[in-house]
Structure 1
Amino acid sequence: MTATPKVTPAARNWGLLLFLSFVWGGAFMSMAVALEHYGPFTVAAGRIGIGALALLVIVAVTRPGDLAIRDLRTLGFILLLGVLNFALPFSLLAWGLQQVPSAFAGIAMGASPIFVLLLAYLFVPEEEIGPRRIAGVILGFAGLLVLILPGASANLGEGGTVAARIACVGAALCYSVGAILIRRAPQVPPMVFTAGMLTAGALVLTPLALLLEGRPEITATRATWALLYAGILPTGLAFLLRVVLIRSAGPVFMSLVAYVVPLWAVLLGVLLLGESLRPSTYVAAAIILSGVGLTQLRLLRAR
C-alpha cells in the first residue's frame, strides 16, 4: 500500500470546512421538502443525477480530454465510491427522512468522525491520532448524544422510527468509508473524479428508483425546486470540494465537518421548517464545539 504524505490543514481548508458544513446542513432540509412530492429513491437518484449532469457539463466545457478514463483501477474506484458516497447513503437518508426530522438526519452525520477515526487508525497510519484527539472525538460524540437523546423516547413507538435512525447513522458510515477510499484513490482531477462518482451512482440507483417507484411526475412545486437545489449545490459543488479537502487536509480533518453540520441542520430546520429547538441543544452545541477544538488544539495554537 502506497503511503500518502502527511498534510497540515491551512486557512483555506478551514474556510472550506465551514462552507461545506453550512451547505450540507441545509441539504437535509431540502431533501425533506423534496420528499413532500417524490419517493425516497426518486429523491436520492434525482439528487445524484442532477449533480452529475451539472459537473459533467462543466467538465465537458473546461476539461473535455479528461472524460476519457481507461484505467481499470481508476474506474473501479469511481464505481465503488459512486455507490458508497452517493447511491447508498443518499437512499438511506431519503428513506429515513420520511420518518425523522431533517435536523435529526443532520445530527446523525456526527457519527462519522467516530467511524473515520477507527478506519484511519487501520488504513491511514500517517494520520496522527493521539490521546487528545481521541478524547476530542469522544467529547464531540457525547455532545451529539445530548442533542439526540432528549425527546428520543417520545418517538420510539412510531412505526419504523428506530430503523429510520439506524439508516441515517448508516449513511454516516458510508461517508466515512468513502472518505478513507478517496484518500487512497488514483490522482484524477477532483472535478472529473467527482463527476465520475456521481455518474456511477446515478447509473446504479436510477434503474432501482424507476423499478420501485415508477417514473416521477415532474411538477413546478417547491419539492422540485428543493430537489434541484439539493442536486446542484450540496451534491455537485459540495462533493467536489469534499474531494479537494480530503486530498489536501486528510480524511480525519474532513470528518470534523460532521460536528458543525448538525448545528446548521438544527438551526435551518427551526427557522425554515418550524422544527422545535430544545434548551439542551445549546448545551450540546457547546460540547460539540469543545470536542472539535480539542481534536485540533495543536493546530489552533500554531495558527
Structure 2
Amino acid sequence: MVNQKHAMAYGLAAVLLWSTVATAFKLALASLAPVQVLLVACSSSVLVLALVLWLQGRWRAVFRLRRAQYAQSLAMGLINPCLYYFLLFGAFDRLPAQEAQPLNYTWALVLAYLSVPFLGQRLRAVDIWAGLVCYSGVVVIATRGEVTSLTFSDPLGVGFALGSTLVWACYWILATRDSRDPVVGLFLNFLFGLPFIALACALTAGFTFPSGRSLAAAGYVGVFEMGVAFVLWSQAMKKAENTARVSNLIFISPFLSLVFIHFVLGEVILPSTYLGLGLILTGLWLQQRRVVAREASLAHG
C-alpha cells in the first residue's frame, strides 16, 4: 500500500546504510585485494537476498522465470556485480575514500546523458549546465584543489571511479527493460556473477583471507550495501506517493559519508573535497529539478 511516511522511513534507512559503505570499502581493502572483497561481498549478498526472498514468501519466483530471463541474469550479472564492483573497489583501493565516494555520485548524471540515445529522452540546456557544474567538481576533487595544474592525484583511480559510473548507468538502463521482480532479479544477477568472480579470484589474489576487521567489513558490504539497502530502497519506491521527495534523500548520503570517513578512517577532509562535492551535488540538483518537473507535468496530465 502507498504510504509516504513509510516510504520516507525506508528511504532514510537505505541512505544511512549507503553512507557507511565508503568507510566499509576502505576497511575491507586494508587487508584484502579488490577481487577478494568482491568475492566475500557478493557471496554475503547472495545469502542475504535469498533469506529476504524466503522471508517474504517469494522464493518460488526464482524458479518460475523464462529461459531468456535466466540468460538475462547471466548477462546483467557480468555487469553488476562483476564489472561495476571491480572498477569501484579498484577506485577505492587507489584513492582516499573522500575522493572516490563523491566521484561515484556522478553516475546519476551519466544516466541522464545515456538516456538520450538509449531511451529516446531529450537533452536540454539544463542537462548541459548540470554536467559542466558536476564535472568541475570532479576536477576539483581529483586534483585536490590544484585545478590549474590538472595534475590528478591518481589518474588510474579516478579512471576507475568514473568508469564505474558509466557501467552503473548502463546497468540501470538495461534494468528499465527488466520485467522481473527487482529483488529476484538482483539475487539471480549476483548468483550468476559469483562463479566468474570466484574464477577471477582464483587466478589472481587467491583464496587466502586474513580474518579480522577487513573480512568483517567485506561481509558488511555484501549484506548491507549490496543487499539490505537495495531492498529498503525498493520498498521506499513502492510505497512512495511522491518518488521525487524520496529520491532527494540521496543528497544526505555524501555528507553523512564524510562524517564516517573522518571519524572512523581518520581521513582529514580537504577543503577541495567540500568544494568539489558541493559542485557535484549542485549539478545533480539542477538535473533532478528537470526530473521533478517532468513528473509533475505527467501527474497533472
- TM-score, structure 1 normalization: 0.79
Gaps of 5+ in 2: none
2:45 paired residue number: 51
Q: How does 1:26-105 map to 2 (within 5 A)?
A: 26-61=20-55, 62-105=57-100
Would you say the 8 A contact 1:110–1:141 is kept in 2?
Answer: no
2:137 paired residue number: 143
1:24 paired residue number: 18
Instruction: Please say if 1:272 is aligned against 2:264.
Output: yes
- Provide Cα deviations, 1:185-207, integer angstroms capped at 9, x if missing partner: 12x11221111111122122112
1:223 paired residue number: 214
1:179 paired residue number: 172
Higher mean alpha-carbon deviation, 109-118 vs 228-237, is at 109-118
In structure 2, the residue corresponding to 1:213 is in which secondary structure?
Answer: coil
Q: Which amino acid aligns with 2:119?
A: V
Q: Which amino acid aligns with 1:170?
A: G
Higher mean alpha-carbon deviation, 147-156 vs 69-78, is at 147-156
Instruction: Please say if 1:109 is aligned against 2:100.
Output: no
Would you say the 8 A contact 1:109–1:172 is kept in 2?
Answer: yes
- TM-score, structure 2 normalization: 0.79
- 1:173–1:253 distance in 2 versus 1, CA, 3 Å: farther
Gaps of 5+ in 1: 1-9
2:225 paired residue number: 234
* Post-superposition offset of 1:233: 0.5
Q: Distance in 1 between matches of 2:194 and 2:174?
A: 19
* Post-superposition offset of 1:133: 3.8
* Post-superposition offset of 1:175: 0.6
- 1:155–1:286 distance in 2 versus 1, CA, 3 Å: closer
Higher mean alpha-carbon deviation, 280-289 vs 32-41, is at 280-289
Q: How many residues align?
A: 287
Identity of aligned residues (%): 20
Q: Quick one: which of 116, 121, 131 aligns to 2:125?
A: 131
* Post-superposition offset of 1:209: 0.7
Would you say the 8 A contact 2:73–2:185 is kept in 1?
Answer: yes
- 1:191–1:12 distance in 2 versus 1, CA, 3 Å: same
Q: Quick one: which of 203, 207, 220 aligns to 1:211?
A: 203
Q: Distance in 2 between matches of 1:272 and 1:292?
A: 27
1:3 paired residue number: none
Q: Which amino acid aligns with 2:274?
A: Y
- Provide Cα deviations, 1:54-101, integer angstroms capped at 9, x if missing partner: 111222342121120441321222112212121112112223333211
Q: Distance in 2 between matches of 1:13 and 1:201?
A: 30
Q: Distance in 2 between matches of 1:207 and 1:25?
A: 30
Q: Which amino acid aligns with 1:34?
A: A
Instruction: Please say if 1:289 is aligned against 2:284.
Output: no
Would you say the 8 A contact 2:49–2:227 is kept in 1?
Answer: yes
In structure 1, the residue corresponding to 2:209 is in which secondary structure?
Answer: coil
Q: Distance in 1 between matches of 2:20 and 2:101?
A: 9
- Provide Cα deviations, 1:220-245, integer angstroms capped at 9, x if missing partner: x1112211211100111233456678
Q: Which amino acid aligns with 2:25?
A: M
* Post-superposition offset of 1:120: 0.4
